[in-house]
Structures are given as C-alpha cells and as structure tokens.
A and B are shown apart, each in its own frame.
Chain A
C-alpha cells in the first residue's frame, strides 16, 4: 500500500493556496469599465517606456508586447467600441487562465483513461503492472470534470465572454453564428458536456470496480467484462472526444473550423497523459512502491511519449500546412492571429513538443534513464500547456495575453488539486494488481 507522503501533501496544498492567491489577483485586477481598460493598457505602455526595472517582473509581457503596445499608443483616438472590446479581453484573461489550466489537467486524466482503455482492449502484456497508477490518475476525472462543467455553466451564465456565440446580442448581428445556432446552443452545449463527462466518468468507475473485483475473484469474468467495457468505451470516447474538442475548444473561435481538430486534441491529450503516467511511475518507483517495475516499462512509456509527440506534431503540421497552403481567408485568420500575436508560444511549443522529445528520446539508452525521461516529460507537459494556451487565449484575450500571475496561479491551483486527488486515490488500494491474467508477463516484461 502506498502512503501519501506528508511533504507531497503539504506541497500540493501550498500549490493550491498559491494558486488561489494568483487567481484571485487575476480576478481583482480586471478592469470594470472601458475607460479603465484603456488606461490600464496605456499605463502598461508608459511602464515600458520609462522604466526597464519593471520588465524584470513581467519578462514574458515585456518581451512580447512592445510592437502591439506601440500600435495602441499611436492610435490614440480610441473609439468606444474598441475600448469595450479591450475591456472584454482583459476581463477574459483570468477566466481563460483558469479555463486553460482546468482543461489541461482534465485532459491529462482523460488521455490516461483512453490509454488505459487501449491497454485493456489490446490486452497488452507489459502494462498491467501500471494499471493502478493509471487508475489513480483517472480518479482526477471526477473533480476535474466537475470543475470543467462548472466553468462551462458559468460561461453560459455570462460570467465571462470566452464563448462569443453564447452572447445573444452578438449572434443577432452575425449571420455565420446564426447558421451554427442549431449546434452552438447554450442548453444543448451543456447537455452534450454532461453526456461526455457522464460517459467518461461512468467508464472510469466501472472499469476501476471491475479491476478491483478481478483481484478478489477466482475466475477471469471481471477481466473479460473489463475488456468489453474498454472496447465499448473507446468507440464512445472517439466520438465524444471529437465533439468535446469542437465544443470546448474550437467554439472559442466560432467562425473557424477544422476537420482534424478532434484528432489534434486527442494527440495532445495522449502524449500528456502518457508523460504523466511515466513521471508518476518513476516517482513511485523511486520511493520503492513499485518494485516490479523495471526500466523496460519506463522504456515502453518513453517510446509512447516519443511516438505520440511525433503524432501530435504530424497533426499540428497537417492542420497548419493545409490551411497555410490554401490560404482561404475564413480559415487562415486562425493562424494569422496566432503567428502575429503569439509568435513565440506558437512556434516555441513546436520546439518543446517536437524537436526536444525527438532528439532526447530517440536514443534507446536514454529512454531507460529516469531523470532523462522526467526531464523530457516536464518539457512535453509545459509544451502541451502552451498548446492549450495557444488554442484558447487568442479567441478570448487576443493580443492582451501574457503569462503572468493569473496563469501561473491557475496552473499551481490545478496542479495542487491534481496531485492531491491522484495520490489520494493511489493510497486506497495496493499499487500492484493481484491476479490480472497478464500480471506475470508484465512482471517479467523485458525489452
């Protein structure tokens, strides 16, 4: 049995506390009137103009903004509509920061669940030793899913302006959104979200129950049932994951659409999920809780990290290159805003999610070295956070983005909940399944 170390628990709680403070600062410093928004942005410009000392505090903001800020300063004749737009962007920032972090950690749990179901459906012989770790991570689906759902409800209730199609005044003036109103309907949106979350959590709970029952049973009935549930879940998951990506991410830019978007989200989800499995496995093994896990298991996980990193890049590039090549105005605006306003994060994430793992995890000896896998894993996770950031922020805060206190606060907060919940779930049952039919093979797995 795993015991939750006090240091980790305190660390997670401290992270959560820091996160609450950071998010609170984000929500408090939001402008409430258009004039205030204009003044905030103007003050920001002055700050850059006369004191470089301040730049130390906001390195990301300082390095990213000068060009746009100069543009804003030059156009001093602001009209009211622009100010209001600016206010909405600034008001969206703390919400988007929370949304990005909430989705990022939720997507890790969901990616692990999909990976887990694939391992079960494929009857993989190497992974049963890691099933309890995966089940521990998927435990986060419940709190993470509830938080996501609450965020979506708050968006529907107009606490923020992240989803413009939820604003009936905007829809009234927008023929394109009227055309999509049949699908992008707030009530239908919430019903869909409830179905997705319900289905995923249902499978997680059923599979966990069957997995634990298998340990106590004297035949393999539970194992076979679990296999069937996994196969069924994968079908459900593929459909709902795709729709979820349209609903929760793509509808932030409701004028834009992309057919491989669901796959793209899926690839990011898988690679971050597998990375977290690897990191937590290495952590637990280093504490002596997984004595039978050997470096071949780590090697396999690292191979999956490597493979899915490349798969993610393949989809990222396919989406980008098709749109760049054809350059159809209604599609290409998506990338125009990202390349102009988010140049460093947009291309930086390709380096973090592709070049770095490609070069680091290519060597098969390196894939067996724990600290190497952890280091690559941290970069991959940071890269996929930036990926979600790049998908959400341009549609909600536009060029008013930065990675500062609200963003770090939200990441800390959700990292804290994630660690707390996942490791609490890990303490509940022995970390090694007892009588999975493949457990012997997994124990002697050697690559």
Chain B
C-alpha cells in the first residue's frame, strides 16, 4: 500500500468514466472511486470482478428450504402426528401442499436476509461504522478517483489527470 495517494475530483460521471478508462490504459492502479450515486458501467471500466452475491443467495435459499422441510417434517409428521381436520399426516409428501407456503416463505426469508447480511459483512457496513469518504462532496455532487502513487511517475500522472477533466487534484498522505 502506497503511503501517498492522489485524489482527482470530477463533477460529471461521463468525464469520470473516460478518465477511469484512460487511467486504466496507463496501468496506474485505481485504489477507489467515490461516487454520490451508482455510475452504470463503472465496475466494468475499473475491471472489478463480478459479484458472487447471487450465488450465496441461491445457497441460502436452499438452506431455508431444507430448514422448512426438516422443521415441518419433525413437528407435523414425526413428533406428534395429530389428525388436524382430517389432513393426512402419515408421511411428509401426503401433507406437503399444506407446507408449501411455509417452505416458500422460509426459502425467500433465508435467501433475502442472509444475502443482505452477507452484503453488510463483505462491504463492512454496520451502525457505528466511521464514514470512509475522503471528502463530503462525494456524497453530493463530486466524484473522487483515488490513485496510488509510486515515486517517479507523479508528474506524468498529474498532467494526465488534469487533461482528463479533473476539476481538482490533491495529493494526500495516507
């Protein structure tokens, strides 16, 4: 991790996208981009790996389905198979239609909630977390691209960022 970073400020997402592509071609490492709103295609331009959160969600859904089946099978069929209004409680399959609403809801519940929690964990979000944005303007109308600096290439990088349409460039010690 470089101790020095450059913060390049932009005030338009199209210009930002162009700048990101340009910086990528010069092989500089973009540490982070702070945006006030999602910029469509920014992750592709930065070359970020696609998210795998949908896959986790699918697995959580399977888990929820299993929980529902095991729970209903134990409670309604194995533990105390009562005759409730003539519903057949001899085997799980015989009474399955009555359990489907629960199976469905638990699948969705597990898939949704565990996925959200996964998202919080992976993106390190929690109630008393200290905000990380380098400049308050990044939550309103400015975009900041943070680039690592190694000794020697500062000058060239600065001029290139200037040309790419940055409205402000700061060097920050980290």
Contacts and interface: CB of A to CB of B under 8 A. Distances in A.
A361 to B, nearest CB: 13
Interface residues of B, number: 6
Interface string A323-335: 0110100000000
A42 to B, nearest CB: 35
B47 interface: no
A362 B97 CA distance: 24
Nearest to A320: B97
B100 interface: yes
Interface string A299-332: 0000000000000000001001100110100000
B1 interface: no
Contact of B100 (A317, A362, A364): A317
B14 to A, nearest CB: 17
A320 to B, nearest CB: 7
B67 to A, nearest CB: 19
A336 to B, nearest CB: 14
Interface in B88-120: 97-98, 100
A325 B100 contact: no
Contacts of B54: 364
B133 to A, nearest CB: 30
A325 B97 contact: yes
Contacts of A317: 97, 100
Give the secondary structure class of A's interface: helix
B86 interface: yes
Nearest to B61: A362
Nearest to A362: B58
Interface residues of A, number: 8
A332 to B, nearest CB: 12
Nearest to B87: A325
B98 A325 contact: yes
Nearest to B41: A446
B42 to A, nearest CB: 15
A327 B86 contact: yes
A32 to B, nearest CB: 43
Interface in B11-69: 54, 58
A321 B86 contact: no
Contacts of B100: 317, 321
Nearest to A314: B104
A178 B50 CA distance: 64
Contacts of A325: 97-98
B150 to A, nearest CB: 37
Contacts of B97: 317, 320-321, 324-325
A325 B98 CA distance: 7
B115 to A, nearest CB: 14
B169 to A, nearest CB: 33
B129 to A, nearest CB: 31
Interface in A321-365: 321, 324-325, 327, 362, 364
A318 to B, nearest CB: 10
Contacts of A320: 97
B94 to A, nearest CB: 11
A299 to B, nearest CB: 15
Contacts of B58: 362
12 contacts: A317-B97, A317-B100, A320-B97, A321-B97, A321-B98, A321-B100, A324-B97, A325-B97, A325-B98, A327-B86, A362-B58, A364-B54
Rank and list the top 10 A-B pairs by shortest CB-CB distance, nearest first. Answer: A321-B97, A324-B97, A325-B98, A317-B100, A321-B100, A325-B97, A320-B97, A362-B58, A327-B86, A317-B97
Given A317-B100, A321-B100, A327-B86, 9 more contacts: A317-B97, A320-B97, A321-B97, A321-B98, A324-B97, A325-B97, A325-B98, A362-B58, A364-B54
